[in-house]
């Protein structure tokens, strides 16, 4: 396989975007990545679109074909990649393979979702469609409910408290204030979301023990990366950031069939693969973007990915090690918690943030001197997980 460079990145701010269609968002993010790379009018061989549910949210399918038409990239190959909340990560993996294998030289990967076209409970239902139709869905299970059942066990086993969960929310929303692309731009305090007698009004129960401020918002948004070879990237204008490692692993569809439901095996395996391929270790990582769709997941993933031993993630958080300026800043972008989680966009947005960080272009939230980055895109409830290691080329 030949090295693959992320030569261009682009996003649009994640928020509620009533004025934009899904295609408007995908097209703008795609153009931003092309322009960031300085691609000009050079041709693109192939386009991958990460999107979970445009048919259900927006009554439109075949969105990759529609996107190449909008961007005048005809006759480029075009595929939509659907892998639940890991659709963006899967789209990047496909783009990577196309370039690494020599099949394509220039590939555009765009992830996007327009979720706010439907009302909140309808979005909850659409997202719940990834659960098992007979064994889970019919009972009214939601993704926050899966997180609730997981969190109850994880908290008991490892001594994680609601205070720890709130620390994740506070850290990520603080980081989000430094990210102009983040959906949630609001400072929160421990008193406001947890310790004050009235805090349950601000942060009501969604699926006990998961409260409102433990959940990512429902967002519209898109993000894009332009992947190419070192040879072509050297002719473009940006410092080289390469995808050095990718891992992917799956686990049982339902939580109850895992011998230990607190063990996120797919996270461990995907991360190990990505580190092995990159030839570096978790301790070499300078900045990580984890899939904190629920606060408990940032803690659990930070352990399963190999950054901390099991049970130590919450302690590292407590010590401030995962803040910007700490030993391993996690989610300097604000994560899903603050940046938002337009499902198909997330895996791509994580890689966009890493590229900004590794180039030194992350502005106020820059992790100083970051050279090695890691991202984790968590699909289903941990039944399909992708991990990425990105490095700045010196």
Nearest 5°: phi and psi at 151? -60, -40
Give the C-alpha separation, 251 to 284, whole Å.
Answer: 27
**Contacting other proteins within 258-287 (CB under 8 A):** 261
The smaller minimum CB distance to other proteins, of residues 234 and 256, is found at: 256
Contact between 152 and other proteins by CB under 8 A: the answer reads: yes
Element (H, E) at 1: none
388 has which bridge partners? 246, 375
Contact between 251 and other proteins by CB under 8 A: the answer reads: no
The smaller minimum CB distance to other proteins, of residues 208 and 231, is found at: 208
Among 256, 276, 325, 363, interactor with other proteins by CB under 8 A: 256
Q: Which residues lie closer than 8 Å to 198 by C-beta, 6 or more apart?
A: none
Contact between 132 and other proteins by CB under 8 A: the answer reads: yes
Give the C-alpha separation, 296 to 32, whole Å.
Answer: 33
224 has which bridge partners? 10, 110
Q: Which among 171, 242, 187, 283 has a CA at the least distance from the CA of 391?
A: 242
The smaller minimum CB distance to other proteins, of residues 25 and 210, is found at: 210
Please state the three-class secondary structure of 352-364 as a single string: HHHHHHHHCCCHH
**How many residues bind other proteins, per CB under 8 A?**
38
Give the C-alpha separation, 43 to 283, whole Å.
Answer: 39
Contact between 148 and other proteins by CB under 8 A: the answer reads: yes
Among 2, 35, 43, 135, interactor with other proteins by CB under 8 A: 135
Give the C-alpha separation, 336 to 173, whole Å.
Answer: 10
The smaller minimum CB distance to other proteins, of residues 56 and 97, is found at: 56
Contact between 217 and other proteins by CB under 8 A: the answer reads: no
Among 255, 330, 351, 371, interactor with other proteins by CB under 8 A: 255
Per-residue DSSP letters for 59-71?
S---HHHHHHHHT
Which residue reads 């048919």 in tokens? 55
Task: Candidates 120-128, 167-175, 279-287, 328-336: pick the segment binding other proteins (CB under 8 A).
Answer: 120-128
Contact between 35 and other proteins by CB under 8 A: the answer reads: no
Among 1, 43, 62, 153, interactor with other proteins by CB under 8 A: 153
Task: Candidates 29-37, 52-60, 246-254, 310-318: pick the segment binding other proteins (CB under 8 A).
Answer: 246-254
Task: Candidates 101-109, 151-159, 289-297, 338-346: pick the segment binding other proteins (CB under 8 A).
Answer: 151-159
Tell me how far, at minimum, the Cβ of 20 lies from other proteins, in Å: 23
Nearest 5°: phi and psi at 120? -50, -55
Strands 220-228 and 106-114 turn out to be antiparallel
Task: Candidates 173-181, 254-262, 298-306, 375-383: pick the segment binding other proteins (CB under 8 A).
Answer: 254-262
Give the C-alpha separation, 331 to 268, whole Å.
Answer: 19
Among 65, 94, 174, 254, interactor with other proteins by CB under 8 A: 254
Among 145, 218, 223, 274, interactor with other proteins by CB under 8 A: 145
Give the C-alpha separation, 29 to 353, whole Å.
Answer: 14
Contact between 125 and other proteins by CB under 8 A: the answer reads: yes
Task: Candidates 55-63, 75-83, 142-150, 272-280: pick the segment binding other proteins (CB under 8 A).
Answer: 142-150
Contact between 205 and other proteins by CB under 8 A: the answer reads: yes
CB distance 12 to 22 below 8 Å:
no
Q: Other C-beta atoms within 10 Å of 85: how many?
A: 29
The smaller minimum CB distance to other proteins, of residues 204 and 309, is found at: 204
The smaller minimum CB distance to other proteins, of residues 174 and 250, is found at: 250
Hey, what are 379's tokens?
């699909």
Task: Candidates 39-47, 228-236, 256-264, 270-278: pick the segment binding other proteins (CB under 8 A).
Answer: 256-264
Task: Candidates 108-116, 178-186, 222-230, 255-263: pick the segment binding other proteins (CB under 8 A).
Answer: 255-263
Q: In what order do the strands lie in the sheet with 77-81?
A: 77-81, 46-50, 106-114, 220-228, 5-11, 241-250, 384-392, 372-379, 287-289
The smaller minimum CB distance to other proteins, of residues 127 and 299, is found at: 127
CB distance 389 to 373 below 8 Å:
yes
Contact between 43 and other proteins by CB under 8 A: the answer reads: no
- The residues of the shown chain that bind other proteins, judged by CB under 8 A, are 119-122, 124-125, 128, 132, 134-136, 138-142, 144-145, 148-150, 152-153, 156, 204-210, 252-257, 261
């Amino acid at each position: 396989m030949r090295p693959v460079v992320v030569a261009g990145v682009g996003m649009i701010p994640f928020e509620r975007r009533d004025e934009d269609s899904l295609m408007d968002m995908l097209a703008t993010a795609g153009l931003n990545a092309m322009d960031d790379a300085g691609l000009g009018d050079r041709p693109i061989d192939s386009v991958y679109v990460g999107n979970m549910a445009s048919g259900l949210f927006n009554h439109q399918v075949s969105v990759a074909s529609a996107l190449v038409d909008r961007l005048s990239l005809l006759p480029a190959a075009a595929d939509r990649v659907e892998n639940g909340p890991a659709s963006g990560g899967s789209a990047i993996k496909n783009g990577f393979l196309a370039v690494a294998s020599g099949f394509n030289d220039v590939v555009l990967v765009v992830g996007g979702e327009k979720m706010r076209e439907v009302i909140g409970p309808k979005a909850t239902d659409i997202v719940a469609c990834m659960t098992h139709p007979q064994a889970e869905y019919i009972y009214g299970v939601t993704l926050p409910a899966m997180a609730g059942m997981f969190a109850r066990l994880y908290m008991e086993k490892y001594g994680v408290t609601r205070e720890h969960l709130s620390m994740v929310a506070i850290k990520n929303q603080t980081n989000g204030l430094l990210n102009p692309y983040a959906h949630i731009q609001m400072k929160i305090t421990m008193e406001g979301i947890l310790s004050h007698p009235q805090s349950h009004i601000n942060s009501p129960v969604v699926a006990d023990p998961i409260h409102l401020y433990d959940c990512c918002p429902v967002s519209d948004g898109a993000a894009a990366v332009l992947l190419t070879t070192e040879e072509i990237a050297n002719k473009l204008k940006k410092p080289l950031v390469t995808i050095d490692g990718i891992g992917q692993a799956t686990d049982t569809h339902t939580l109850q069939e895992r011998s230990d439901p607190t063990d996120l095996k797919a996270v461990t395996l995907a991360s190990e693969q990505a580190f092995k391929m990159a030839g570096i270790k978790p301790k070499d990582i300078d900045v990580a973007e984890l899939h904190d769709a629920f606060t408990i997941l940032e803690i659990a993933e930070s352990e399963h990915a190999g950054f901390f031993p099991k049970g130590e993630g919450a302690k590292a958080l407590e010590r401030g090690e995962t803040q910007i300026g700490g030993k391993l800043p996690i989610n300097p972008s604000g994560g899903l918690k603050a940046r938002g989680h337009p499902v198909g966009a997330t895996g791509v947005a994580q890689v966009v943030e890493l590229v900004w960080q590794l180039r030194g272009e992350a502005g106020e939230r820059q992790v100083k001197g970051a050279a090695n980055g890691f991202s984790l895109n968590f699909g289903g409830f941990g039944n399909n997980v992708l991990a990425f290691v990105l490095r700045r080329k010196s």
